[in-house]
Structure 1
């Protein structure tokens, strides 16, 4: 995020947690982590350009030779919407289309038929499960494996996905199908990066698409099409129904609600069992509860599945047991190896899965090594009444045993954990409210949460931590030490997820309980108190955070010693709070001391040591010491890539901070691509409205603005402000930053009326929330003065500039970038007012500082030199003085 009151100056900002970045003339507070940037070797890039897809290449999950009725108009409309130019060559047009409707309505079937019908028009048709961004990444990685196996087999999933995106950018004319999208924003960055083809999405979600893609709502089949489908499924396509059969199927289709999935399930049952339509209707009527208020798909399908399950059980009892078990797992990518313990041998497992597949209860992956089950099937099965004596819902105990057996050791390789994690998370989230979890599954949850923490993905562990805390409270009581630890972990997970409304009250309660139960200076109390202070700080509440950090550090030093890891963490936290408050003279020595102690105690490459090194570099950068910041950031980044990996959140933070420093130093050519990559990765990993994603969006907007690209900057600023108001609140420091940045963009665009109004509001709010001398408040004061100056109102501009300069000198120091910006702007206002006697000395001081800080060719230095020259040409006395100086000192 940035504010840039200096005309013509600046570069983009981005930071890690609780730091202040400087770009343009003046920067503002930025919170967040870094970006994931995937670097591909040169030969992989060359292969992405040169590799060609075979004719008709694709990975469609099934054929289109099955029965398909009642959707011809939708197919034609879909083609028109995707290719706005009618039958123009696919390589010359691009388009995006989303199909939405309730589960079982036939969205996937329609997309599959469209893909098959037009696959020869595309260079490639690639089908992706898109429930979340991780599945999209995995599907893209599979594309790399298909097209470039010689390289893809030797690298990781993220690199493979990056290669696939690069290939798609080089080879236009493809179709990407995103099946079962849960969050429309998951697609936003793919649509931006990949414009030269067609994107087709299916989703049960009807909202959230307006800013992303045109939509087509898919409704129930009409009565005639539904009856035709049921007749064909029941009798076979070669048999024409009699009038009586047609009437029977029409009546049954009506009772089934014209839901395609319900019709397919009923047709499969009737065909497999040979049951007559009359008998089936009679059976259905005996168990049917009329659904009030229209179609109830769960109830409709539940009525069908009761009979389907009975038929499957007669054919293969093992199959029903398998189905009830997978109801408690994630719906997609359920490995056969995970299910294997339920059957005595692979043959038995295959026969059971085959029976389920015959009745359309499951589907196979392309390699048949994993299965998927429809979510409605899972929903219905999870809500079956408990009949077991031990109180387990049907299938849940078996699912628990499978997950427990498949859980890797704590330090096992990532692929095994990554394959199991979706099932562990779903199992935890689907736990019935009156169910008491076992100690075995609790250990699984704890190991999974620790794995996510080690990966820097603590925000993803909220569901696990909720389950762990509920278990501890139920079995151990509200103040047991394990309960207190669990409550702390859940509060910290909420904080990591940006959910401060739940994090802070929970952490406050935990601190109180720890003080009463464990004592004021117990290590557990100190950890809880530090985490509460971090949460306060994350919301911009330094008035509560700072005293808590200081008190906690004092107690850690007394109880644990000066070099205990928890003491070092506390010292680092206090330094960051000073940094955020703009007290660099207190923050930098504290960072330096912490780094020295961590190097001695933990070693040179310990993750905490690397964090200290990164924090010190960031403090240097924010204080304007770029020559000290850049080498330290580059060295730390190299170490983090080696120790933590290329995509660990700490590595991404480091990379993002390096991009910030490049931008602040005027190197936008290196900064902007990193900011774009940061936004893309955060959207994938954290979601569209996570605070760190919003930070990246703001950073990118500022980078565009610093490069003079207001057409891309202003809409991005507006979007970020709206999302921050919704996610963080009207007066959160980050919201105020977005409001300030948008106002500055209005000013640069010449819309001074809107700029001044928004800047006045922001300044008032910052004075109330942050205080009169906070760096962000100073930025607002400078920017409002600049807007008055631009509007020709020097009577208001000059006093504001003078007050801002005095406050910057007292609070931040003579050479802080904000101070230099204030001095430069005040000099410009004096010049505009004709007061050259005060303007020229200020311009000279600014130029001298810029040359010492950034060098002779930096944009800020050039701007200061140009303004000084312009003022000097207007002042004869200055011209005479400069001529004399040149004559006596030719070397000058």
Structure 2
């Protein structure tokens, strides 16, 4: 460490050099002063704001600094180490690793008396804290090995002409009304820089900027931080004025006269005129800043805004400042990492996860975070209990910790705002009350306007009937930053403005609701429920209407729709559940189904059809999430109860049976599933006819069951006919038709018709992407089918390119344990084993095997298939003995669960015969290969790729038994068939020609 302290950086020569100053935004004034002094002594200086993001590492950040040329001068303070935030341990490790090895590149100055990480000593910082300008400059130059230029200006000179920025410990000559600096100020770096750049680029006389935002968003704190951060560098006069009232503003501006040394009379009107004239002329300095804090009534005070070469910074909730020649910068709530960092400074007893939860509960509003975190810090209440109070909307106002410079709670601030709106524009408050019975977040304006006037309460009819009054109320809320109104992208068939959305902060919701009597809450919530029902297009299976349901669903719970007894609203809830299932929003759907069940169970008697509707939707969600055991229990109870009450020929019974059949398929009980699926088919044909959508769905499910049973030709027959029927009834782009087309392509592929399957599936996958979106679960299944088509047809490169992105999307959209993701992961492991990284393949294969064992146990075909794949991976890794054990176990297990003639069993047999051959048991291998080839020919046909691969395996076994004549004949026939069926250049054909032993990979099917 001592070496670092005494080393003079190589680039800092006696008359200057290249210097990069790294500083925290809080210390901008120091960085500017240091740069000014170094430039006076011949250095070329660049400023680099240190900005650690949550995902960055300290080591990487310091390493990046070394990419600059010359000396890296770090301005040390506690703020430098707060960013991120990062622990002192991480800082110490990074400093110890990088600084000693680069001691000729790093230098530092310290501008704080606070304790810093111990390894900072390696930087050998010059201590500038508490010094005068001259001594601080001497120490700076000495640290960098620069000889002072005696002819240069004194260190304390200010930039009346061009001496440089003011010394940071010296305030501007005129300084008044500025609040104390917030020692817990957090984040806002980009916003502060935007303010600085706006002023820097402003033309003379046009330097007026308004920080605009909701009460409590931190406008005043940002303005104060700007003053402290840039004041010493840019201004000789800084004057802060509370500007809520015109009289106060006039008086405080007039108070600047004596500070500027103006000779005026005693009347403050005369002093005000003198001040405005002096500022306009830039006397005694053109470098002035006036801050008008809380100027929420621009119509009252805009004429008092000073003009001239200086700058005016305004904080306001009112966007009308844009009409008075002011630039606007909107101040948003904190970003989440800023919220967490701020809360942990305000309440050190909170862990990061609790700070995150508090930020979420309070919508990242800085004032609410400050007051609630302060209350938590001073309280012994467990964090969970406090968050529970906030979640229930409990009154915590009395315990909030208010600051000395803002002595009201955010509750009070919002109440004042609502009272102001009520006096100014009562219709705006009516609109606001309507909005708060939607959910926090975007509210499509269309939803607010669709209800007929006759269905509205008296107080809303005038507002809804008069477009001018409506737009005026909307504009007033936007003017006061209560709402944000954003036009969205408009579809070609949408009228202009029909996709506009409005949104407000969730704490505004709470304040407005708390201000409403219970009777009015009931009236307004009922209106919102009717609005949602009116917006329901009534066709959740139509993908073109999904955007409408996406607008409705977020507001079901907040509006009270889930507890409504209105039949129209209940139908909207059920339609929304159907949409959520089809669009792949399973977890949201499950939550809504459970909440609705709890409510409707108290409204309807047991056995009511509405309750069975909920059971059906809940079962769909659980099944889609892979909870097959729970779904089977739910559906079996529904089926048996309904069947006992209603008999077999009933639509509710058939629907329950259809769900139960799906559960049986997923649990590997294919024969039971087929029997029930056929019963459902027959029932629908009798009740609704052969061409009804319900009947076609039943046909589709029968095809799925045939495919799982290995009856690929039967599946093809069903799916081909069903595809034609669905195209006729539902049209080409319906999601049901697309599912049938994908099933048809899968049947073709499983029957070895790879080129035809690929042609069908390429088109199908593209239409899925366009119609349902690339991340819809049905689209993901279609893409997985296309991957397999490419792979089986021999186009391995296209398959791999598509598969990599598909797996990433499945994990992101569905999670790594979703059934679709696991199926894709199985395929990915196969690709990696053959063409990529064996370690990655093993990780994936072991994950899939463990997942299926945990989900289904060992007596399930998916577990046996995953074991077979894992055995092949062990063979590739050279673990032959364990590989043979696993492929034999897979064959035995698959035989038990699906029978000896199932294609999956035959595939396991191909792998097992190879294992026996490799282990020196050619007789057993040959017997198994011969049996397998005969069974495959009988089940799949003599030209099927699996049959031909079994024949190639048999030829290899016969050759090992020295039966060359039979081996050659068998091989020659199989090769000719492979070339004719798949093509002479197909990987299977080439492998067989080179006498590479064939193998079989298990592929889980969609159930």
Relative to 1, partners in 2 of residues 1:494 and 1:390: Cα closer, same or farther, differing over 3 Å? farther
Query: Is residue 2:405 matched to residue 1:313?
Result: no
Query: Is residue 2:748 matched to residue 1:620?
Result: yes
- 1:568-717 matched pairs, under 5 angstroms: 568-595=696-723, 597-598=725-726, 608-634=736-762, 653-707=781-835, 709-717=837-845
Relative to 1, partners in 2 of residues 1:788 and 1:804: Cα closer, same or farther, differing over 3 Å? same
Q: Which has the higher contact order (CA 8 A, sep 6+)?
A: 1
1:854·1:861 contact (CA, 8 Å) conserved in 2?
yes
Cα distance, 1:672 vs structure 2: 1.9
Cα distance, 1:484 vs structure 2: 2.8
Query: Is residue 2:419 matched to residue 1:291?
Result: no
1:498 is paired with a residue whose SS is: coil
Q: What runs of 5+ residues in structure 1 fail to find an aligned partner?
A: 1-62, 67-71, 91-96, 102-107, 121-200, 205-215, 230-249, 251-255, 870-892
Which residue is equivalent to 1:741?
869
Relative to 1, partners in 2 of residues 1:64 and 1:607: Cα closer, same or farther, differing over 3 Å? farther
Relative to 1, partners in 2 of residues 1:85 and 1:370: Cα closer, same or farther, differing over 3 Å? farther
Which residue is equivalent to 1:388?
518
1:100·1:203 contact (CA, 8 Å) conserved in 2?
no
Which residue is equivalent to 1:850?
978
Superposed CA offset, 1:816-857 (max 9, x none): 332222222232233334442443232123212212211222
How far apart are the structure 2 equivalents of 1:426 and 1:378?
A: 17
Which residue is equivalent to 2:657?
529
Relative to 1, partners in 2 of residues 1:773 and 1:711: Cα closer, same or farther, differing over 3 Å? same
Relative to 1, partners in 2 of residues 1:409 and 1:596: Cα closer, same or farther, differing over 3 Å? closer
Which residue is equivalent to 1:80?
58
Cα distance, 1:630 vs structure 2: 3.4
How far apart are the structure 1 equivalents of 2:922 and 2:629?
A: 43
Which residue is equivalent to 2:911?
783
Cα distance, 1:425 vs structure 2: 3.8
Matched residue count: 655
Relative to 1, partners in 2 of residues 1:346 and 1:217: Cα closer, same or farther, differing over 3 Å? closer
- 1:36-115 matched pairs, under 5 angstroms: 78-80=56-58, 83=61, 85-87=63-65, 113=189
How far apart are the structure 2 equivalents of 1:405 and 1:589?
A: 43
- 1:233-248 matched pairs, under 5 angstroms: none
2:581·2:621 contact (CA, 8 Å) conserved in 1?
no
Of the candidates 941, 958, 977, which is equivalent to residue 830 of structure 1?
958
Cα distance, 1:323 vs structure 2: 8.9
Which residue is equivalent to 1:546?
674
2:368·2:410 contact (CA, 8 Å) conserved in 1?
yes
Relative to 1, partners in 2 of residues 1:88 and 1:444: Cα closer, same or farther, differing over 3 Å? farther
Superposed CA offset, 1:445-488 (max 9, x none): 23433444665767753334445555554433332334334422
Relative to 1, partners in 2 of residues 1:299 and 1:800: Cα closer, same or farther, differing over 3 Å? same
1:867 is paired with a residue whose SS is: coil
Relative to 1, partners in 2 of residues 1:316 and 1:587: Cα closer, same or farther, differing over 3 Å? closer
Query: Is residue 2:635 matched to residue 1:515?
Result: no
Relative to 1, partners in 2 of residues 1:753 and 1:291: Cα closer, same or farther, differing over 3 Å? farther
1:716 is paired with a residue whose SS is: helix
2:537·2:548 contact (CA, 8 Å) conserved in 1?
no
2:800·2:831 contact (CA, 8 Å) conserved in 1?
yes
- 1:217-616 matched pairs, under 5 angstroms: 225-226=345-346, 268=367, 291-292=381-382, 296-299=386-389, 304-305=396-397, 308-317=410-419, 330-334=439-443, 345=470, 370-371=502-503, 373=505, 388=518, 400=529, 403=532, 418=547, 421=550, 424-425=553-554, 427-428=556-557, 438-439=566-567, 441-452=569-580, 455=583, 461-470=589-598, 472-595=600-723, 597-598=725-726, 608-616=736-744
Relative to 1, partners in 2 of residues 1:98 and 1:464: Cα closer, same or farther, differing over 3 Å? farther
Which residue is equivalent to 2:315?
none
Relative to 1, partners in 2 of residues 1:451 and 1:783: Cα closer, same or farther, differing over 3 Å? same
How far apart are the structure 1 equivalents of 2:838 and 2:790?
A: 20
2:65 is paired with a residue whose SS is: coil
Cα distance, 1:442 vs structure 2: 2.3
1:644·1:651 contact (CA, 8 Å) conserved in 2?
yes
Of the structure 1 ranges 415-424 and 619-628, higher mean CA displacement relative to structure 2 is found in 415-424
1:99·1:202 contact (CA, 8 Å) conserved in 2?
no
TM-score by length of 1: 0.59
How far apart are the structure 2 equivalents of 1:571 and 1:618?
A: 16
Relative to 1, partners in 2 of residues 1:466 and 1:429: Cα closer, same or farther, differing over 3 Å? farther
2:703·2:716 contact (CA, 8 Å) conserved in 1?
yes
Superposed CA offset, 1:9-63 (max 9, x none): xxxxxxxxxxxxxxxxxxxxxxxxxxxxxxxxxxxxxxxxxxxxxxxxxxxxxx9
Cα distance, 1:505 vs structure 2: 2.0
Superposed CA offset, 1:354-398 (max 9, x none): 8787xxxx9998999654646xx6999999999836996x99667
2:518 is paired with a residue whose SS is: coil
How far apart are the structure 1 equivalents of 2:800 and 2:60?
A: 31
1:495·1:503 contact (CA, 8 Å) conserved in 2?
yes
Cα distance, 1:548 vs structure 2: 0.9
How far apart are the structure 2 equivalents of 1:701 and 1:707?
A: 10
Q: What runs of 5+ residues in structure 2 fail to find an aligned partner?
A: 1-24, 29-49, 69-82, 88-183, 197-333, 350-354, 399-408, 423-428, 450-459, 489-499, 998-1007
1:575·1:587 contact (CA, 8 Å) conserved in 2?
yes
Superposed CA offset, 1:106-131 (max 9, x none): xx9977659989999xxxxxxxxxxx
Relative to 1, partners in 2 of residues 1:265 and 1:774: Cα closer, same or farther, differing over 3 Å? closer
How far apart are the structure 2 equivalents of 1:264 and 1:552?
A: 50
2:339·2:369 contact (CA, 8 Å) conserved in 1?
no
Relative to 1, partners in 2 of residues 1:429 and 1:499: Cα closer, same or farther, differing over 3 Å? farther
1:491·1:503 contact (CA, 8 Å) conserved in 2?
yes
2:716·2:744 contact (CA, 8 Å) conserved in 1?
yes
2:578·2:617 contact (CA, 8 Å) conserved in 1?
no
Relative to 1, partners in 2 of residues 1:714 and 1:571: Cα closer, same or farther, differing over 3 Å? same
Cα distance, 1:663 vs structure 2: 1.1
Cα distance, 1:739 vs structure 2: 3.3
Cα distance, 1:529 vs structure 2: 1.7
Of the candidates 964, 969, 990, which is equivalent to residue 841 of structure 1?
969
Relative to 1, partners in 2 of residues 1:707 and 1:473: Cα closer, same or farther, differing over 3 Å? same
Relative to 1, partners in 2 of residues 1:336 and 1:813: Cα closer, same or farther, differing over 3 Å? closer
Of the structure 1 ranges 306-315 and 644-653, higher mean CA displacement relative to structure 2 is found in 644-653
2:937·2:947 contact (CA, 8 Å) conserved in 1?
yes
1:782·1:822 contact (CA, 8 Å) conserved in 2?
yes
Cα distance, 1:545 vs structure 2: 0.3
How far apart are the structure 2 equivalents of 1:76 and 1:615?
A: 46
How far apart are the structure 1 equivalents of 2:718 and 2:537?
A: 40
Larger Rg: 2
